[in-house]
Structure 1
């Protein structure tokens, strides 16, 4: 699974909105708000009972490449892809998840927090990983420290990344894309603030293309 394959699925975007969507009814207007704001992809976390249905509903929006996040098992990966997920993201490295995604032909981005985990990912044939949780781990300083001994690895920092930090991360040559949840929080979804989601997404997209 290469950075090129993931970049193709992400349609060239370097911004990945990370979403936890507890109410299926919000999936369609959420997809509209993200796409109208300029997002080309979205990661739906498998933290809610209806995550598969949310993936299916959002994947029906022609303007979004929808992936599944917080995938913890091969069985979840299979369900996610069956629901319409075009890429899979995990919080950690799991050989069975990677193998299942390879079998299914979808890009997989496992989370790593140490050089040891990164070496395991490389041994599994991957060259793209998620640095997670990026900010609590030390942010850009940790990213640079991990990248130095492993030329060719691309990172998707996720976890605690805020709008002001987006540009800094994207300026790093080893960063393929950045994942963030500030564009569509539980508060936004709870009060149905899809205009706020659209606005924050548009601002983030603008930052990501500077």
Structure 2
């Protein structure tokens, strides 16, 4: 009988010492729900609204925030227990993955977004002779610009979209003949 009690006590101690898997509740404060998509562990969350949304994330799960077409994320941050804003990393202006721990329980994450067209207040002119052979992309947002033969006005977000990538429309084609910036020839990189 002692062995039965000993085994029972051992099982009971083992069960009590295990970490209980607990969900992590968070608050997601969204400035404009029409501009973003939210997922928990890559599963879409419906009915996200402007303002504070309460989400329950499985332990050690993640939250994905994605800008919808025509929008971009300007800032994503969490307010820690000391009231300080802790910035979250945004990729390509359009996505943010937040990996949660127990320390994030009941914290507020804030999402700020904008419409790309409204933010693109600066522009430059790109002149091409054969648009079918040229690809133009805004590097920071990874958005491709549709080109036509002749002059094209390319809008961009000042101090954010700082780099234009000009290359072959088809990677297998011959390199571009010449690229100039204000009349000065630009050196190619990557055989483009």
What is the TM-score when the length of structure 1 is the normalising length?
Answer: 0.22
Q: Which has the larger radius of gyration?
A: 2
Which structure has greater helix proportion? 1
What is the TM-score when the length of structure 2 is the normalising length?
Answer: 0.24
Which structure's relative contact order is higher, taking Cα pairs within 8 Å and 6+ residues apart? 1
Which structure has greater strand proportion? 2
